[in-house]
Amino acid sequence: MKRKISITLATFILIILPFLVGIPISKYSPYVETNSFKTYVIIWIIISIALVLIVLVLSKYYSKSFGALLIGGLWLFLLISPIAGIIGLASAPDLSLKMLQHPEREHLRYIFLFIAALLFAAFSLFLLKSNSLKISTLNSQIVRLIFIIAFAEFIWEFSHHYLYPEALKEWINQGNKVVEFSKKYDNIAIINIGVLGRLVQFSLAVLLSIRLYKLGQIKIWCPIIITLFSLIGIISASVIFLTQMNIPKGFEILFLFFIPGIPFLLFYWLGVALLTKFKKSEITT
């Protein structure tokens, strides 16, 4: 019983760990004018190296204690590094003219997201190659297509926004008004691609959590939480599509579930669920 309580407590800590790591380093955020950009990056690198070392130790010395999807869980667990990095920035993207003074801030944000996308891709490849979902060839091809669409949208979206400062500078150099740039660069077509991406990514998170639960690889808390957050995310994307980004007053919180970091947080929680589902022989009372 004590071991089960310890595992439950450890699971809860791991669920909120990106915030426990990200919030303390937010005082070094480069968005604070007096802070050094290099200092924040160095702190993040040190934390990331420590997390990678933890993953290596778990995979080498404790692999027999975990379920069959240890490697997949570890890939998703590493999402904590870019997620904590984004949380530590403690600021929304600066889309004003001031961005041109510090374009490296926005570049760093999307570098974190690129890293998250690559970790997601590594997990996807492992899952599909190992056939860990235990599905038919036809269903496997469908899931593969869903993974590809989700990953492709991530990469396209991050590339688009990574180049925002450069595009803004070129826009100004052409003699255009700054206030008109955002609507031009992030037009309805761009927003709709993001909507499609969120619908696919949130749906994938739900499907994976339910399937892995049915296979006995994760506990029930994971599909419940992921389904709840994904439904809110799907509603958010749908409202943004229907209103063309003009969300009614009082519902502005829906914007939070449209940002690309939310799907990665759900996949991180899936990784936590995989790593905290020990073999039955390891949880004897």
pLDDT at 281: 42
Given pLDDT bands bounded at 50, 70 and 90, which one contains residue 189?
A: very high
What are the residues whose beta carbons fall under 8 Å from the beta carbon of 35, sequence distance 6 or more?
Answer: 28, 29
- What mean pLDDT is predicted for residues 80-96? 94
User: pLDDT (tens digit, 9 = 90+) per residue, 209-267?
Assistant: 999 999 999 999 999 999 999 999 999 999 999 998 888 888 889 999 999 899 999 99
First to last CA, the chain: 5
Structural domain range at position 241:
2-282
Quickly list H helices, the chain: 2-25, 37-61, 70-77, 80-89, 103-129, 137-162, 164-173, 181-185, 188-214, 221-243, 261-275
User: pLDDT (tens digit, 9 = 90+) per residue, 139-153?
Assistant: 899 999 999 999 999
Asked if residue 2 lies in contact with residue 278, where contact means CB atoms within 8 angstroms, the answer is no
**The pLDDT of residue 61 is above 80:** no
**How many structural domains does the chain have?**
1
**Cα–Cα distance measured from residue 91 to residue 94, given in angstroms and rounded to the nearest whole number:** 8
